[in-house]
């Protein structure tokens, strides 16, 4: 992990860009974090639209988390931003667009081709980032995962024991096989659902919530579309992490 830039935001949060091999990322730490007072870490997931485009929304979440004493970090997803495209996913994305424009159902094959390579490739990258981040002074554990592509969150929750709680956003297409993986998840979950999410199948989201194996899980549905998550929902998710990471 190599830091490439560093700046203080006006609320004292330290924002550092880094690269992990070829993968760009950003780390935000609260002013209070130090080697003698390490803080818990939340990995900030995001949709595969590129870190640069997602930055305004990510920095809001990062500052909010820092105010509650959490470090946050994120990395570019494979195939997004300046990273090389994933050809299979590009084809699937075109198929998805075609289906949505034609008002047709999205086939399981398209969903699998869009999501599964992203999960396969990104999960080990998040784990490598975790190795590097947890070795930094000022960053302790435990670790939470928040938001982003829900299938990545599911896989991470299953395979990465350092992640002890996850806040998931039921707002993306989910391959059928991920429902089976969801049954293997046992960590506490806080799941957000936008009730009228234009790009999301509500019943599938409810079925997925039902499938999670976690004894402690809660679903929080709010009105509005994909990007209409209210401020109070963000506050509630932060309190979930405070309960489980502190």
Residues that bind a copy of itself (CB under 8 A): 195, 206, 209-210, 215-223, 230, 232-233, 235-236, 239-240, 243
Minimum CB distance to a copy of itself smaller for 19 or for 184: 184
> Which residues, at least 6 apart from 60, have a Cβ–Cβ distance to it below 8 Å?
none
To the nearest whole angstrom, how small is the minimum distance from the Cβ of residue 131 to a copy of itself?
Answer: 32
* Other beta carbons less than 10 A from residue 161's beta carbon: 9
Instruction: Report the alpha-carbon distance of residue 89 to residue 163 in Å, rounded.
Output: 27
Helices (H) and strands (E) in the chain, counts: 7, 9
CB of 5 or CB of 203, closer to a copy of itself: 203
Report the relative pairing of strands 163-169 and 139-146 from DSSP bridges: parallel
Q: Are 44 and 36 in contact (CB under 8 A)?
A: no
Which own/partner contact pairs does 104-113 have at CB distance under 8 Å and 24+ positions apart?
106/173, 108/175, 108/176, 111/173, 111/174, 111/175, 112/175, 112/176, 112/177, 113/88, 113/89
- Give the shortest CB-217-to-a copy of itself separation in angstroms: 6
| Residue 135 vs 227, nearer CB to a copy of itself | 227
Minimum separation from the CB atom of position 181 to a copy of itself (A): 19
Minimum CB–partner distance for residue 192 and a copy of itself (Å)? 10
Q: Which is nearer to a copy of itself, 107 or 232 (CB)?
A: 232
The distance of closest approach from Cβ of residue 39 to a copy of itself in the complex, given in angstroms and rounded to an integer, is: 22
User: Measured from the CB atom, is 33 or 233 closer to a copy of itself?
Assistant: 233
């Amino acid at each position: 992990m190599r830091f490439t830039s560093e700046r203080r935001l006006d609320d004292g949060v330290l924002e550092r860009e880094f690269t992990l091999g070829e993968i760009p990322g950003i780390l935000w730490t609260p002013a209070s974090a130090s080697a003698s007072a390490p803080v818990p870490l939340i990995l900030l997931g995001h949709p595969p639209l590129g870190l640069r485009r997602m930055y305004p929304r990510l920095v809001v979440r990062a500052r909010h988390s820092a105010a509650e004493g959490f470090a946050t970090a994120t990395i570019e997803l494979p195939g997004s931003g300046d990273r090389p495209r994933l050809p299979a996913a590009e084809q699937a994305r075109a198929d998805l667009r075609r289906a949505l424009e034609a008002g047709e159902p999205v086939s399981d094959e398209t969903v699998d081709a869009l999501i599964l390579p992203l999960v396969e490739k990104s999960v080990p990258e998040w784990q490598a980032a975790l190795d590097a981040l947890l070795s930094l002074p000022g960053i302790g554990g435990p670790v939470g995962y928040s938001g982003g592509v829900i299938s990545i969150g599911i896989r991470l929750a299953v395979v990465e024991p350092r992640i002890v709680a996850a806040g998931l956003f039921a707002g993306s297409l989910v391959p059928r096989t991920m429902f089976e993986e969801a049954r293997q998840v046992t960590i506490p979950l806080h799941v957000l659902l936008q009730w009228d999410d234009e790009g999301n199948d509500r019943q599938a989201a409810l079925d997925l919530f039902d499938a999670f194996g976690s004894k402690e899980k809660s679903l929080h549905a709010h009105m509005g579309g994909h990007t209409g998550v209210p401020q109070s929902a963000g506050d509630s998710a932060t309190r979930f992490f405070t309960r489980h990471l502190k």
